[in-house]
Structure 1
Amino acid sequence: MQHSSQVISVIVRPLSYVCLSVITVISVLSYSSITVKAQEQLPHKLACEEVLNNQRQKWQAKPVQKLAQFTDSVQERSQLIQQANDLYSRRDFQNAQVSLCELVKKYPKDAFAHFQLGNVLFRRKQPEAAISAYREAIRFNSKYALAYNAIGMVYASQNRWTDAISEYEKALKINSNYGDAMMNFGQALWQVNKKDEAKSALEKALNIFKSQSRNEKVYQVEQILQQIKTLDNPSVS
């Protein structure tokens, strides 16, 4: 009898291991499926899917001139970026989005392409999709200070000042001499009534812009500081 119980014990133990292994595999597969599904549902991807579908319908109705075909991927990428930039400068944000969506479709790990797409989506008043695109840029380049600053600007446009401050801080942690982020940081701090910190940040931004000879930005920060001084001391005006 003792020998029989030992045999049963030996048989049961491996079976339990097999069950645990099956559960682990199922869990991993489920997590992978959820992750893929979440990626597919990202707002900027949905925005691209919509605009590209609309563009395909236009092509079917009326053939348009297509981009030149390049065997060199660098040339192709440069052409798409140049096209998007030209459209953006003409404020044709819809077609700029089409070009950038084509770009991220062909080069899904291109951080710059996602950043530019975020800029266009923000201009098209699609803040959540813009943030999604900026986040994707950061996913492929964790040191993308411009993307963090851009997310902060989206939050600021929604009066989400605490969230904006958090993003500006991330940008400045990467580049402490990032004048635009420092200026935005100062203005956001003022909005949450952190006046002394706001003035300090704006003074730093002013010095950064002066050192970079960015005279338009120098003037802009000087005007902001003057307005703050007037608001803080109404008797001065």
Structure 2
Amino acid sequence: MKLKSKPKLAFVQSFSGMMLSIITAIGLSPLVLAVPAKVSLQSPEQSVERQPEKLAQFSDTGTPERSQLVQQANALFNQGDLTGAEENLRKFIKKSPEDAFAHFQLGNVLFRQKKPEEAISSYREAIRLQPKYALAYNAIGIVYASQSRWEEAITEYQKALEINPNYGEALTNFALALWQTNKKDEALSSLQKALNIFKAQNRGEKANQVERILREIKTGDDPAVS
């Protein structure tokens, strides 16, 4: 099917309308969605069930103090106190500088505060400490995408997908960046793969979102207002 000139706008608007779910996780495994409209840091279960917004979940294998500090950061984030969440995480990092997840969470908060370069630095530190941190690579891709630095975003998404080829959100993000660089066939292929993965994972909400985007970019219709 020949794609019209209009779908690009529809595609971008659709992604913008879906939350940025930046930095979602099952434990420390990756899960992120699309380009910013609103940053929402949730676990997959929370995203599906529409439970209260939280920072990404963590593997609670550390000390009680670690658990308390991260929970406090979640609470501050939920209250909209991003400065407080940042201070809390920096306090934690000062005591536990080798904790990759804490650096990752700090990156989330910094990005929400519109400090992209600082956010990238925090994500890079998380990767230095945990080289297979696909979630952090995807997060860096999202930061670049928010600045329309599409080629750089593509590079980061590719790194995430090299670590986890079945990373549905990274495939979705990758598709958006490909579309923006006029690689339409590759974008559609990536979206279809993401759709198949979401269906296999029984994640109906994500699958429905991708199906809607696929319909919109193929027909050129304006996205439905949610």
Verify same fold: TM over 0.5: yes
**SS of the residue aligned with 1:125?**
coil
Q: Which residue of 1 is the match for residue 114 of structure 2?
A: 125
Distance 1:163 1:230 in 2: 29
Aligned residues, how many?
Answer: 161
| Equivalent in 158, 165, 169 of residue 154 of structure 2 | 165
State whether structure 2 residue 188 is matched by structure 1 residue 175: no
Distance 2:130 2:155 in 1: 18
Q: Which residue of 1 is the match for residue 181 of structure 2?
A: 192
State whether structure 2 residue 199 is matched by structure 1 residue 210: yes
Q: Which residue of 1 is the match for residue 139 of structure 2?
A: 150
Distance 1:126 1:152 in 2: 15
Shift of 1:93: 1.4
State which drifts further: 210-219 or 159-168. 210-219
Q: Which residue of 2 is the match for residue 94 of structure 1?
A: 83
State whether structure 2 residue 72 is matched by structure 1 residue 83: yes
Cα deviation digits, residues 11-67 of structure 1 (max 9, x gap):
xxxxxxxxxxxxxxxxxxxxxxxxxxxxxxxxxxxxxxxxxxxxxxxxxxxxxxxxx
Cα deviation digits, residues 118-176 of structure 1 (max 9, x gap):
00000000000000000000000000000000000000000000000000000000001
Q: Which has a greater percent of helix?
A: 1
**SS of the residue aligned with 2:182?**
coil
Shift of 1:97: 0.7
Pick 1 or 2: higher relative contact order, CA cutoff 8 A, min separation 6: 2
Q: Which residue of 2 is the match for residue 107 of structure 1?
A: 96
What letter matches 1:215 in structure 2?
G
Shift of 1:91: 2.6
Shift of 1:89: 2.4
The structure number with the bigger radius of gyration is 1
Q: Which residue of 2 is the match for residue 16 of structure 1?
A: none
Distance 1:153 1:191 in 2: 14
Shift of 1:90: 2.7
Query: Under a length normalisation based on structure 2, what TM-score does the superposition of the two structures give?
Result: 0.69
Query: Under a length normalisation based on structure 1, what TM-score does the superposition of the two structures give?
Result: 0.66
Distance 2:93 2:175 in 1: 33
Q: CA RMSD in A?
A: 1.5
Identical pairs, percent:
65
State which drifts further: 140-149 or 206-215. 206-215
Say if 1:219 and 1:91 are closer, same or farther in 2 by CA, change over 3 A. Answer: farther
Distance 2:166 2:89 in 1: 29
